[in-house]
Structure 1
Amino acid sequence: EQMLGEMGYDAVFIGTGAGSPRFMDLPGEGLNGVLSANELLTRCNLMRAGQFPAYDTPLGLGKRVAVIGAGNTAMDAMRVSLRLGADEVHCIYRRTETECPARKEELHHAEEEGITFNWLTNPVEILGDEAGNVRALRCVRMELGEPDASGRRSPVVIPGSEFDFEADTVVYAIGTSPNPILGQTSKLKLDKRGYIQCDEALATSLAGVYAGGDIVTGAATVILAMGAGRKAAASIKDYLGIRDSGRVYAPEPPGLEGSLFGIDLAERNFTHVRLI
């Protein structure tokens, strides 16, 4: 609203993504050694934590790392942890390998590098030591029940299956969410998941405001986000009454159809001249 009003913009595009990491609200999530996969990968790839103290960002993974989740980001986090010196890296996932959402090649590469997979395992608490550091992950065994809304079989807790899993670091890789501040500070209409609600033209509930990418669809690919940006740009031009130069000319016909020696028949009444 401020950009359209006080700042004088005629249209606004929102492409902020959905980068807020999800957690499970388990007891112990405030302990030292609990972080998201986003934070882990950012520290390593952008801030060069693996080269500490040559660079200022420490990491301190410890010897045993537990990564909760089994998507592509989880695979990245596990392989990076192993390369940064962890002795053991474990994947904690509540379903089986069949339901694993990661790409097959990502899973294959993680197995090749020595990642240990704990299928049908779900965390219920993170345990800490007297200094406030992670020491273990309390888990329960699961079994698969009936399919849920996603079509995958729902995991069900096996009674009396609780056990403690030693860990120095716990990494969450269970997806991301949109930044809740958007809904708290604007009148944009959101869907039930908290993402910006748009029509087919990517127009939001506020006139002149368009959105696209993960902030609309949820976590997806860069290609889809780029496509949304192009679509929204065309919609903004229509909204502002700007003629899209890409639509002025008819598409080139295939072959020589409609031409005379390769010259469009519509040009027969014109003479080509060379300016000197």
Structure 2
Amino acid sequence: MTKQELIKERRSQDWRTELRKAHPNKERILHERTAISELPIEERITSFHEEVALGYTREEAMAEARRCLDCPTPGCVEGCPVGIHIPSFIKLIEKGEMLQALDIIRETSSLPAVCGRVCPQEKQCESQCIYTVSLKKQAVSIGNLERYVADYERLHRDRSVKPQRPSQPQRGRIAVVGSGPAGLSFATDMAKWGYDVTVYEAESQLGGVLRYGIPEFCLPNSIIEDELEKMRDLGVHFVANTIVGKTITYEDLKAQGMEGIFIATGVGVANYMGIPGEDLKGVYTASEYLAKYNLMSPEELAAELPSLRGKRVAVIGGGNTAIDAVRTAIRLDSKQAVIVYRRSEEEMPARAEEIKHAREEGTEFLTLHNPVEYLGDESGRVTAMRLQRMELGEPDESGRRRPVAIPGDIITMPIDEVIICIGYSANPLVTNSMPGLEVNKWGNIIVGDDKQTSMSDVYAGGDIVRGAATVILAMGDGRRAATAMHQRLSGRIEEGALV
């Protein structure tokens, strides 16, 4: 059965028909989007470990679900990189069947509690909602509804009941390199289909960018741990502190009987601008800054805080990582926390909700400026930065208007810390250890539509292929790679596989 046939079949179920009759569309569209409760600003700016967005109540979730018009050809599904049957799970929420709603999501997404929190729904599924496209109103809050049912299941499930799986894997051994969203998504599908899957992680803790790159006030570590527990229940094995290409090689993996390898290492090398002063003390990359504080316990943060207070912090960049970094600086009681971005705010790639939260918490936005030099004192510590004022020219290949320097218009701004968030490049360690692996000029692995690399038994996906992108796009890559590898090894395409 095709995806479209399944959507049609589910929509024609008697109870769905009755729901549409009970609340006609002309009634549904009168309701405004249900706001989500948030931690008060005075509390959130002092807490690393409390989520800002508090999630829906049952009543709020059901009210928001009632706004969904249950479209016969749902654009939201096409806008979802992993193809979740969105109206099907939303209508189950409207009916009050929360666990069944989550079952629909888990057919195609292995990380619903994560995606409900950090995916840019306004640029994906919600951008294709009929409210957005035709009614010119706020879309159904798909992300918050996904988060609600995932949280509901986490709080209410019987943890003594484990997924049914064979005592011995039915199929061969598979290796996954990296435990970020692409690797976890791939591993989940392959384990469901009977493979013996081992995930190798270079760091000491699992989760990749989810753990090291996203603060707990956006994505609590307990959410990541819960998803990992579900994967262990499926039979997935995890091996931390293991660097493929150094600790263990491709040849070692093949000698262990691995029939297929999926590379999902992400992009771990931070980019620099190549301007004077980037080597001064107090100039950090986003990855080292965020990882340091993300991994601290509340007690460790409390002990460190007195030495961090009162600093003037500049964050260079306009993506989600930059917003995470500046909001972290605020929680470290900075005197000033400012985003410096070379384009206007309209061009910022960060999620709208993240920008909103950052502004509420006291972030300053200095747009249309770009650093050209960092200045330091005699001890080699940064004290100021020189900023070139910019204006917007013609659009570049990304579709955003290109920033152009205004000659002679440079200002100097005092600063105590700089966090550079201008993107990442691929770490060549894994690719250099596999000479048969083709990469592009940026070091990203070259793959086909099926995510197969130039080595027939090696597939790749996520940021190591795309460059820095979103969690949900990485998950989509993982699922497509799983489908293709499974088809190559077994000749089958399973129902619900992402093709």
TM bucket normalised to smaller: 0.7 to 0.9
| Residues 59-87 of structure 1: per-residue CA shift (max 9 Å, x gap) | 84751000000111111111110111101
| Residues 188-241 of structure 1: per-residue CA shift (max 9 Å, x gap) | 11123321111122110012111112211222232332332232223222333x
Answer with 157-166 or 1-10: which moved more.
1-10
| Residues 133-171 of structure 1: per-residue CA shift (max 9 Å, x gap) | 111111111111222111222111111112211110000
Cα distance in 1, alignment partners of residues 254 and 359 from structure 2: 54
Q: Is the 8 A contact 2:392 2:401 kept in 1?
A: yes
Cα distance in 2, alignment partners of residues 192 and 85 from structure 1: 41
Return the index of the structure with the highest Cα Rg: 1
| TM-score, normalised by the number of residues in structure 1 | 0.80
Cα distance in 2, alignment partners of residues 235 and 59 from structure 1: 52
Residue type at the aligned position of 2:445: I
Q: Is the 8 A contact 2:317 2:420 kept in 1?
A: yes
Aligned-pair CA distance for 1:245: 8.3
Counterpart of 1:132 (choices 363, 377, 380) is 380
Matched with 2:353 is 105
Residue ranges of structure 1 left out of the alignment (5+ in a row)? 248-276
Question: What SS class does the counterpart of residue 448 from structure 2 fall into?
Answer: coil
Alignment of 1:216-255 (within 5 A): 216-240=465-489, 242=490, 244=492, 246=494
Question: What SS class does the counterpart of residue 161 from structure 1 fall into?
Answer: strand
Cα distance in 2, alignment partners of residues 201 and 113 from structure 1: 43
Counterpart of 1:75 (choices 315, 323, 348) is 323
Which of the pair has the greater relative contact order for Cα pairs under 8 Å at 6+ separation?
A: 1
1:11 aligns with 2:271: no
| Residues 85-136 of structure 1: per-residue CA shift (max 9 Å, x gap) | 1010111111111211112221122111111111110101111111111111
Alpha carbons of 1:205 and 1:73: their partners in 2 closer, same or farther (altered >3 Å)?
same
Matched with 2:434 is 186
| Residues 37-69 of structure 1: per-residue CA shift (max 9 Å, x gap) | 2221111111348845747x9984751000000
Residue type at the aligned position of 1:121: H
Cα distance in 1, alignment partners of residues 267 and 298 from structure 2: 24
Matched with 2:278 is 29
Question: How many residues end up aligned between the 2 structures?
Answer: 245
More helix by share: 2
Q: Is the 8 A contact 1:208 1:239 kept in 2?
A: no
Matched with 1:257 is none
Alpha carbons of 1:67 and 1:61: their partners in 2 closer, same or farther (altered >3 Å)?
farther
Alpha carbons of 1:191 and 1:131: their partners in 2 closer, same or farther (altered >3 Å)?
same
Counterpart of 2:311 (choices 63, 66, 72) is 63
Cα distance in 2, alignment partners of residues 143 and 174 from structure 1: 19
Residue type at the aligned position of 2:296: M
Residue type at the aligned position of 2:425: S
Residue type at the aligned position of 2:438: K
Q: Is the 8 A contact 2:487 2:493 kept in 1?
A: no
Cα distance in 2, alignment partners of residues 149 and 245 from structure 1: 36
Q: Is the 8 A contact 1:147 1:154 kept in 2?
A: yes
Matched with 1:42 is 291
Residue type at the aligned position of 2:372: V
Residue ranges of structure 2 left out of the alignment (5+ in a row)? 1-249
Q: Is the 8 A contact 1:141 1:157 kept in 2?
A: yes
Q: Is the 8 A contact 2:368 2:391 kept in 1?
A: yes
Q: Identity percentage over the alignment?
A: 49
Q: Is the 8 A contact 2:461 2:474 kept in 1?
A: yes
Aligned-pair CA distance for 1:174: 1.3
Cα distance in 2, alignment partners of residues 10 and 34 from structure 1: 44
| TM-score, normalised by the number of residues in structure 2 | 0.46
Matched with 1:209 is 458
Q: Is the 8 A contact 1:142 1:156 kept in 2?
A: yes
Question: What SS class does the counterpart of residue 449 from structure 2 fall into?
Answer: coil
Alpha carbons of 1:49 and 1:96: their partners in 2 closer, same or farther (altered >3 Å)?
farther
Q: Is the 8 A contact 2:309 2:335 kept in 1?
A: no
Cα distance in 2, alignment partners of residues 30 and 17 from structure 1: 25
Cα distance in 1, alignment partners of residues 493 and 463 from structure 2: 28
Cα distance in 2, alignment partners of residues 11 and 121 from structure 1: 47
Q: Is the 8 A contact 1:202 1:211 kept in 2?
A: yes
